[in-house]
A and B are shown apart, each in its own frame.
Chain A
Amino acid sequence: MYKTEVRGKLINGDKSFASISREITAPINDKTPLWWYFAFLISLGMFGFGLYAKYITVTKGIGTWGVNNTIAWGWAIINFVWWIGIGHAGTAFSIFLLILRQKWRTAINRAAEAMTVVAVFCASLFPLLHMGRPWLFFYIFPYPNTRGPLWVNFNSPLFWDFVAISAYLLISASFWYFGMVPDFATIRDTTKSKIKKAVYGFFSFGWTGSSKEWLRFEGLSFVLGGIAAVLVVSVHSIVSTDFAVSVEPGWHTTIFPPYFVVGAIFSGFAMVLTLVVLMRVLYKLNDFVTDSHIDAVCRILIFISLIMGTAYMTEIFMAWYSGSEYEMYTFFRNRIFGQYAFQFWAMFISNAIIPQLFWFKAVRKKMWMVFIISIIINIGMWYERFNIVITSLSRDYLPANWATYSPTWVEVGFFVGTLGMFIAGVLLFFRFIPIIAISEIKSVAKFNKPRRDHLKHAGHE
C-alpha cells in the first residue's frame, strides 16, 4: 500500500475499495450516454470516408496521391511518423513512470496504453498503403521463398522499421492486455448482467487474485516494463534512421534519433493530456485524475518543450556551423524564410513557445486552456513532420529535380479515416474497458485509518 507521507493523497474523496470498483466500472455498467452514440457515429463516418480513400488508392494506384518523383514521401510518411509518435507516449508513460516509481501514473497509464495500441495501428496503415501493392506486403518478411531464397536487405532502415513497428504493436497490445486481466476479473465478479459476466469472465482468463498469480504477475510486469523501456527508445530511433541514413540535406544528421524520440514522447504526452482532460470531464473522474495529475503532465511538457526548442536551435546552428551550403540552403532559404516558412514557424511556435505557458500555475489549473494547448502541441508536432519530410525533399542537390507538394483529397481522406479510427477506438475503450487500472489504483488508495507501525515495512511500497 502507498505509505509515504511526503506526498499528498493520490485519490480524492473518502473511497472504499468497493466504491473504487463501482466508480471506475460505471461507464461499462451504466446506460451509455447519448453523446457517446453521437461521437461514435461521427467517427464511423470519418472512418468510412477513409475506407473510400483507401479503396481509391488500391484500385487506381498511388497516382491518386499528390506525391511525385521528387517528393515521393508525402502525406503518408508525415502521418505515419505522427501517429507512431503519439503511440509512443502510452508505453513511455507507463514504463518510465513505472521505473521511476511514480505512483500517480496508475490513474492515467491505462488510457495512455489504449491510445498507444490504436495509434500504432493507425500508423501501420500508411506504409502499408504507400507500398502501392499492399497485397504483396509479405515480401518484406524474411521467409524462405521461391525467389532464391532471396533474403531482404537487413541493412535497410525500411526493414528495421517494419520489424520495429510490428514488434511494437504486438508488445504494446499484450502489455496493455495483461494489465487488464485482474480488472476484467473484478468486472466478472461485480457485474449483475449475465452476458457481461460471461464475456468478461472469458477475457479474465480465470484470474482469481491468488498470491501465486500476483507473484508471477509482478514478475511479468517487471520483465515487460524493463525491456519495453528499451523498445520505446529504439523504435523511434529506428523511425528516425529512415531519414538520417539517407544523404538528404536536413535529414543526414546525428541529432535525429534523440530528436525523434523526444518529439514522439512530446506529442504522445500532449495526446495523453487531451484524452485525460476529456475523460475527466465526460465521466466525472476528478477524484481519480486529480488536478495534481494534470499539473504533473503539464510540468513534464514544459521540460520536453525546452528540449524540443534546443533541438530546433541545434539543427539551425549546425546548418550554419557545418559550412555546408546545402544544409544552409535547406534550413535558412527553404525552412525559415522560404516557401515552407509557414510550416516551420507553426512548428516552432506551437512546440517550443506556446507550451511555455505551462510555467504559469493559472494556466495549468484551467482545464480548457490545458486542453487547447495540448491540441496545439499535437498540431505543431504534425507540422514538424511536414517540415522534415517535405522541405528536405523539395529542394535537394539538383535544381532540375526541385518540386512542390500538396496533398490530394485521397490523401486527406486517408488521414481523416485514421482520425476516425482513433476516435472510434478510444470511444470503444471508454465504453467497454475499465479506463483506469482498478487493481493498481486500489494499491495506492490511502485511507484515513490507524496504520500499523510503518517503519517496520519501510522497505515496501
Chain B
Amino acid sequence: MSKKYILGVFNDEDSLVEAFEKVKAKGILPVEVYTPYPVHEILEGMGKKTRITHAAFFYGLFAAIGILGFLYYAAVIDWPLHYGGKPFNSFPSFIVVTIVATILAVTLLTLFTFSVRAKIFPGKKAEIFHHRATDDKFVMVIDKDGLGEFAGEVDSIIKEHGEIE
C-alpha cells in the first residue's frame, strides 16, 4: 500500500485539520481521510456533498402520495364498506396511517440509499489503510503520483503535525 500512497497519521483532530488545510493550500487533495468520528472541517474540505436529504424528501413525497392513493383505492373504489355511516373517503382518518407508513418508507429507503451510496452493506470486507483509524488515529491518505514538485513539502507538512507511515 505504502508504495503508491503516503499515509499521514495524526494523533488528534486539530493536527489533522491543520495539516489537511496546508496540504490543500498546495492544491493537493488527499485521496481519503479516515477518522474515528466525523470531523466537519474535513467533510467540508474534501469537497463532496451528499444529497441523501434530498433523496429522503422525494421518498417521503412519493410514499405519502402512494399510500394515500392506496387507501383511497381500497376504501372507495375497490370494496367500499359502510363503517357507522362514515364517508368512504374518510380523509382525516387516512392521514394517521399515511404519516406513520411514510415515515417507515422514508427510513427504510434512506437506509438502503445510504447502504448503496456509502457502500456499507453486510458481508463487505473493509479496505483498511490503517488499522487504528477507527480507534485513535486520524489518517490522511495522499496519492504519490499526484504530488509532482510538492513531494518534499507535503512530507514536511505531515512531519510537522504527525508521522508518515
Chain B residues with Cβ under 8 A from A164's Cβ? Answer: 100
A213 within 8 A of B: yes
Q: Give A201-231 as 1s and 0s: 1 = Cβ < 8 Å from B's Cβ atoms.
A: 1111111111111111111101110011011
A186 within 8 A of B: yes
Chain A residues with Cβ under 8 A from B74's Cβ? Answer: 142, 151, 154
List B residues 36-57 near A (Cβ within 8 Å): 36-43, 46, 48-50, 52-53, 56
B111 within 8 A of A: yes
Known contacts A149-B78, A211-B33; A220/B114 CB under 8 A:
yes
Q: State which of B37, B42, B132 has its C-beta within 8 Å of the C-beta of A442.
A: B37
A185 within 8 A of B: yes
The answer on a CB contact under 8 Å between A208 and B126 is: yes
Q: Give A164-203 as 1s and 0s: 1 = Cβ < 8 Å from B's Cβ atoms.
A: 1001001100110010011001101110000000000111
Bound: A440/B60 CA distance, A: 28
The answer on a CB contact under 8 Å between A160 and B79 is: no
Chain A residues with Cβ under 8 A from B135's Cβ? Answer: 17-18, 21, 186, 189-190
Interface size on B, residues (CB 8 A): 70
A457 within 8 A of B: yes
A7 within 8 A of B: no
The answer on a CB contact under 8 Å between A16 and B136 is: yes
Chain A residues with Cβ under 8 A from B129's Cβ? Answer: 208
Q: State which of B35, B43, B93, B99 has its C-beta within 8 Å of the C-beta of A234.
A: B99
The answer on a CB contact under 8 Å between B40 and A461 is: yes
Bound: A93/B67 CA distance, A: 29
B157 within 8 A of A: no
A52 within 8 A of B: no
Q: State which of B56, B97, B120 has its C-beta within 8 Å of the C-beta of A163.
A: B97
A123 within 8 A of B: no
Bound: A151/B79 CA distance, A: 7
7 closest A-B pairs by CB: A206-B124, A17-B136, A219-B52, A443-B37, A167-B104, A18-B136, A214-B38
- Residue numbers of A with Cβ under 8 A of B are 1, 16-18, 21, 142, 148-151, 153-156, 159-160, 163-164, 167, 170-171, 174-175, 178, 181-182, 185-186, 188-190, 201-220, 222-224, 227-228, 230-231, 234-235, 238, 241, 438-440, 442-443, 447, 449, 451-452, 457, 460-461
- Residue numbers of B with Cβ under 8 A of A are 12-14, 17-18, 32-43, 46, 48-50, 52-53, 56, 60, 70-71, 74-75, 78-79, 81, 83, 86, 90, 93-94, 96-97, 99-101, 103-104, 106-108, 110-111, 114-115, 117-129, 131-136
